[in-house]
Amino acid sequence: MFDKVEILLSEIKQSEVGSKDELEAFRIKFLGSKNIIKPLFAEMRNVEPSDRKAYGQALNELKNAAEGRYNELLDSLDDQEQHTMAEGIDYTIPVPMDHHGSRHPVSLVLNKMISIFQRIGFVVAEEREIEDDWHNFTAMNTPEDHPARDMQDTFYLKGSTEMLLRTHTSSVQSRVMTKQKPPIRIIAPGRVYRNETISARSHCQFHQVEGLYVDKGVSFADMKDTLLYFAKEMYGKDAKIRLRPSYFPFTEPSAEMDVYLGTADDTAYRLTKGTGWLEVLGCGMVDPNVLDSCGIDSEEYTGFAFGIGIERSAMQNYNISDIRLLFENDVRFLKQFSPIL
């Protein structure tokens, strides 16, 4: 008799269920009105009188074990169900695609310009935004008393007259030229800072792309040719360019380049204020003083450089009227833009 009890006890302890039906089968077998334990109570009369007490206790324990195990199985089934609900997530259900990211208009313009210059052998150079006075100004032939150094225009680091936020990507020119020997052919995209009042038209931070080409025999004609290629790639095959004399401390001669878009097209008319000409970049032949400051022999080498402002191009290209929108990261604004083809 005791053997039967033992066998049932171990069966109860070892039983597992994987579904509600299996749990119900367990209940019916061990706890139901015709359960398997009941007949064992009837066996009492066949047990030796001296063993009856122990047998009765063993049966009660068996009953309790069945109840206890039932509750355990019920709990574990609940857990399993919660688990299968999580596992049962259908990863193939299509996701609404209205939250996917998009490129910032500034990045779109930057990337396009970078790829145009990479195609003709310019290599991307990136440098620090926190610069020293020497790389940003002195090496770039900008004298001590130049107004650009004024506290009004330049963000100096707190308590410093030496460290500043670079005011143009031209600081990358001096960084590269002091490290690298010619031939140098780099394109340097990046953020620059000027202490200007923020308005719809100007901001204290913006982006530029700097270009620098230094080698033996680099001429003004090489610069014109390179910039004409850029204008055609950027603004279309029919683009024409003109160079107007200008002044930058680090180039001599210096020029500003305009691109001819014409006036036939409504957008072109608006962008060029009816003149057909769009102001695009500053450029010039690298001043010999700059080469010498950076340890490049100006008797042996010449070069040209240019700097393009990105925000204005992005605003023109995407018809954005307020520069501040470019720095506010409003998703509703940002998701409107697609790549320039």
115-120 long-range Cβ contacts below 8 angstroms, 24+ apart:
116/229, 116/230, 116/233, 116/234, 117/187, 117/209, 117/211, 117/230, 118/187, 119/233, 120/226, 120/229
Nearer to ligand PHE among residue 31 and residue 148 (C-beta): 148
Residue 190 makes contact with ligand PHE by CB under 6 A: no
What's the distance, CA 324 to chain centroid?
20
**Size of residue set near ligand PHE by CB under 6 A:** 11
Residue 284 makes contact with ligand PHE by CB under 6 A: yes
**Shortest CB 124 distance to ligand PHE, Å:** 16
Fill in the per-residue mask, 163 to 182: x = in contact with ligand PHE (CB under 6 A), - = not in contact: -----x-x------------
Q: Which stretch binds ligand PHE (CB under 6 A): 16-24, 102-110, 126-134, 305-313?
A: 305-313
Residue 316 makes contact with ligand PHE by CB under 6 A: no
Residue 227 makes contact with ligand PHE by CB under 6 A: no
Whether the Cβ atoms of residue 338 and residue 109 lie closer than 8 Å to each other: no
Q: How far apart are alpha carbons 300 and 302 in whole angstroms?
A: 7
Q: How far apart are alpha carbons 24 and 333 in whole angstroms?
A: 59
Specify the 3-state DSSP secondary structure of 240.
strand
Residue numbers 199-218 binding ligand PHE by CB under 6 A: 210
Residue 251 makes contact with ligand PHE by CB under 6 A: yes
Residue 290 makes contact with ligand PHE by CB under 6 A: no
Residue 303 makes contact with ligand PHE by CB under 6 A: no
Q: How far apart are alpha carbons 275 and 189 in whole angstroms?
A: 29
Residue whose token pair is 């009004």: 152
Residue 189 makes contact with ligand PHE by CB under 6 A: no
Residue 227 tokens read as 């910039």
Residue 307 makes contact with ligand PHE by CB under 6 A: yes
Residue nearest to ligand PHE (CB): 307
Using CB under 6 A as the criterion, which residues of the chain lie in contact with ligand PHE when the complex forms? 168, 170, 210, 248, 251, 282-284, 305-307
